[in-house]
Amino acid sequence: MDHTDCSSQHDQRHVGTSSGTPTPYRAGLTRRSFLRRSTAAVGGMAALVAALSPLKDLDVEDMFSVERFLQKHYKELSPEELEKVLERIRAQVERDYKFRPELKDIKATEGVQFVYGLNLSRCIGCRRCVHACVKENNQSRSPEIQYIRVLEIPRGTIDIEHSNHYYDRKEVPDPDSFYMPVQCHQCKKPPCVKVCPIEATWQEADGITVIDYDWCIGCRYCEAACPYWARRFNFAKPTYAQDDEGNYLLNHTMTYLSNRPRQQGVMEKCHFCLQRTRVGRLPACLEVCPVGARKFGDVTDPESEVSQILRSKRIFVLKKEVGTEPRFFYYFDERHPQTKTSAPTVTIEGLEPGGRTGGGH
Amino acid sequence: MAASGRARHPARVHPTTGPPPMRRAAARGPHDGFRSGQVIATWLMAIIFIALAAYFVYTVDDRDPVVQQIIETQSQDIALIPEAALTTEPRRQTLADPPRIEINGYIRTCNECHDLLKSTVEVLPRTLTQHTHIVLQHGMNDRCLYCHDAEDRSKLTMLGGEKIPFTESPRLCAKCHGTTYRDWQAGTHGRTNGYWDTSRGPQKRLLCAECHEPHRPAYPPYQPLPGPYMLRTDPDNHQPIHAPEDAEHVNPLRMWRTGMHGHAAEAADAESSHEADPYDDPEPDASSHDGTEDDHDQDQESHTPEEGG
């Protein structure tokens, strides 16, 4: 088709109007080729405009922020630049969620090493920690993101492969099960940090592994690398619950590295509530635990609760064989107190000391 | 730009009648109709490609009307966890010194009655006319006066006959539970609230009786909060949607995108008992559950051995 076309125009091209250009060999613009090219160009432009038309409904700032795009890595930010970044995030939160957050950046305290202990003898699997964490750390409610998974494991095994974290009982604990909450273990040798191609996640001086949500590209390598299944991905922009007046039910105390609202396409995970623990408070999951199964503190202080547990209790870490050296450990009491306690028969219970030796081990 | 670059070349070749390939190669960039058609086609393809890419990028998630609808519906129907369920307050309140308790609608101290009405000798089974709500299930510690002082009922009694106020009750518990008391003093048993760094704020270590009912100290069962993927509510009947039987093998993303409609029907007929707020009553009472939920619970239990095995 083109072949015949071109041969017929061959001669004309030499004398084609070149609109003042000095080169005598400029391609001639015949009516036909002009129409062809302009039709193609107009068609192409129309297709492009049609394709980009959804953009006109979009809030440009919502999709893309030049400041955010040009922002440096968290560790390279000077204090002034960091303050500018925090101000940008404050404004963004105010625009999206209609309140001005108390957003700060709290640095790690030198000489503090956070350690978390969890008493498997006490945990009753009530999932208070899961939802206190969601509330404290502004996790997305839809799609649902939870940092803590409470595994229900049959009594007599520690077989995580056969555990169930979807248990739906009318009351806990189940006498035939024990409960093992799993969250980020803040490993001393974190595989998730090792695999991150862009250093968007790293370990801080106090042992907390954090994520720069503005630097993460969402490749999810860290999620695959984590042996504790502790990392969560924002498949969509987080959705939060609202009260009747339309106010977003969010925690207003935020820090850059922890619980500020995340965007679509970034990883997140437990960070030991660093907005609380770095100002001396206890994590939200610990404070809500009704049985006191969770213990948190500075392991460099020999009088702290975790140090005393490490000295006096039988402890273990999950998946020790993978060599991650977690800062999160589990421990036991001498006896398991939750064996058949809810048995209603008074006469038999009265004969047993404290109802504690009814079985279980 | 490309056209003007080509225009400088004197060689005007034709694909079939033009010069041999060697000469064509020497003439950098031949520009006949065939070639310019190719260029146009390339540009067209590039534009179409960019347009398609842009179209896919901006329609990938939020522009999908189905997904958009799910997000909008769910954001209205996210089942809220009641504030009371996430309280950090102690589960029980301890008594002051002297203790005041409610008897027959009146707030009284112990000795208002016990000074006047001397209680009879404690025999088993007890024939109590007051304090009948107390269930004494404390193992072999099955007499009132093992802990309560016989003469001054507003005090507790230690082994040597020492009278201690109710506010110091952990010392009384330590009479028998020495190892637990030692753990509690060290902070390895029991609940701590407030600050881990006591130089920066107060720390509150809960007392024995703030978690344990002294007459029935075994920790009572608790209503668990919903598990993962159980907070979704069905927009049609506002019932929670529960994870399917093989929930462990469900891709979370797929669950979020399409799961609502698939499980709505199952949820509607089986889970009607869940509409009552289970957190109104802090004391779990087995008698308050109806048959539907019991059936459901039995289903759960019958699955447990499979999962465990």
Q: What is the dihedral of CA B158, B164, B169, B173, to 10 degrees?
A: -10
Contact between chains at B186 and A337 (C-beta distance less than 8 A)? no
Chain A interface includes B55 (CB < 8 A): yes
Q: Is B83 helix (H, G, I), strand (E, B) or coil?
A: helix
The pLDDT of residue B4 is: 45
A11 touches B: beta carbon within 8 Å = no
Q: What percent of chain A has pLDDT over 70?
A: 82
Is the pLDDT confidence value at B278 over 80? Answer: no
Q: Do B58 and A54 touch (CB under 8 A)?
A: yes
What's the confidence (pLDDT) of residue A360? 33
Query: Interhelix angle for A31-52 vs B33-59, to 10°?
Result: 10
DSSP A91: H
**Res. B75 pLDDT band, cuts 50 70 90:** low
* Residues of chain B found within 8 Å of residue A9, distances taken between Cβ atoms: 33
- The per-residue pLDDT of chain A, averaged, comes to 83
What are the pLDDT digits (tens) for B155-183? 999 988 899 999 999 999 998 998 899 99
Query: Going along chain B, which residue ranges are E strands?
Result: 100-103, 106-109, 156-157, 163-164, 192-194, 203-205
- The ipTM, to two decimals, is 0.74
- Does the domain at A114-332 match CATH 3.30.70.20? Answer given as yes
**What does the block give as tokens for A48?**
């492009």
Mean pLDDT of chain B: 68
Closest CB to B192: pick one of A171, A236, A305: A305
C-alpha B29/C-alpha B17 separation (Å) is 17
Q: In Å, how far are A112, B94, B246, B287, B294 from B298, measured between CA atoms?
A: 48, 37, 17, 16, 6
- Rounded-to-integer distance, Cα A124 and Cα A341, Å: 12
CB contact under 8 A, A144 and B256: yes
Q: For chain B, what are the domain ranges?
A: 1-52, 66-81+225-271, 86-211
Q: Is the pLDDT of residue B48 over 80?
A: yes
Classify A130 as helix, strand or coil: helix
The answer to whether A116 and A328 are in contact (CB under 8 A) is: yes
CB contact under 8 A, B192 and A337: no
pLDDT at residue A7 is higher than 50 = no
Chain A hits for B229, CB-CB cut-off 8 Å, are 144, 166
Q: Does B279 touch chain A (CB under 8 A)?
A: no
Higher pLDDT, B251 or A291: A291
Alpha-carbon distance of A144 to B253, in angstroms, equals 10
Pairing of strands A201-203, A209-211: antiparallel
Q: Which of residues 54-83 of A touch B (CB under 8 A)?
A: 54-55, 58
Q: What share of chain B is helix, strand, coil (3-state, %, to 5)?
A: 45, 10, 50
A144 band by pLDDT with thresholds 50, 70 and 90: confident
Query: Nearest CA of chain A to the CA of B181: how many Å?
Result: 13
pLDDT of A346 strictly over 60: no
From the list A149, A171, A308, which residue is nearest B223 (CB)? A171
Q: What is the mean pLDDT of residues A294-313?
A: 92
Interchain proximity A354–B217, CB inside 8 Å? yes
Q: Which of A148-152, A302-306, B133-137, B190-194 bottoms out in mean pLDDT, i.e. has the lowest?
A: B133-137
How many A-B residue pairs are in contact by the CB < 8 A criterion?
A: 292
Amino acid type, B254:
R
Residues sharing a CB contact under 8 Å with residue A266, sequence separation 6 or more, in sequence order: A211, A213, A216, A218, A233, A234
Among the listed ranges A123-127, A230-234, B33-37, B140-144, which one has the minimum average pLDDT value?
A: B33-37
B61 to chain A, any CB pair closer than 8 A? The answer is: yes
Q: Is the bond leading into B125 cis (omega within 30 degrees of zero)?
A: yes
Please report the pLDDT score of residue A160 as a whole number. Answer: 84
Of B69 and A80, which is predicted with more confidence?
A80
Residue B61: its pLDDT value, please?
53
